[in-house]
Structures are given as C-alpha cells and as structure tokens.
Amino acid sequence: MIDWNLVAKITGGGFGVAILVLLILALVTWLVGLGLQRIPAKSKEKSVKDSR
C-alpha cells in the first residue's frame, strides 16, 4: 500500500526544503561577502583621508 501523503511530503517537501536551505546559505554567504568587501574599502578611504 503506497502512502501517497508521505511520498508527497518526502519528494515535494524534501526537495523544497533543500532548495530553501541552500538559498538561505547563498544569501548569507553573499551578505557576508558584501560586508567584508566593504570594510577594507572603507578603511582604505579613511586612511587616504587621514593622510591628507
């Protein structure tokens, strides 16, 4: 006897959750990268201003 509810939960739900988790990882990785790229850029600007 096939448990269609469980099958749907595993295939649809499982695949959906996998995509969601990896998209969250993508978003966080992107945000961290963005933040860390800006910090050195800002500190560079600051050091240029200080030298003036």
Phi/psi for 7 (5° steps) reads -60, -45
Least Cβ distance, residue 37 to other proteins (angstroms): 8
Query: Is 45 a binder of other proteins (CB under 8 A)?
Result: no
| DSSP type of residue 1 | -
- Letters for 4-43 (x = contact with other proteins by CB under 8 A, - = none) are --xx-xxx-xxx-xxxxxxxxxxxxxx-xx--xx--x---
User: What number of chain residues touch other proteins (CB under 8 A)?
Assistant: 29
Phi, psi torsion values for 48, nearest 5 degrees? -65, -45
**Which of these, 14, 32, 13, lies nearest to 24 by C-alpha position?**
32
Q: Which residues bind other proteins (CB under 8 A)?
A: 2-3, 6-7, 9-11, 13-15, 17-30, 32-33, 36-37, 40
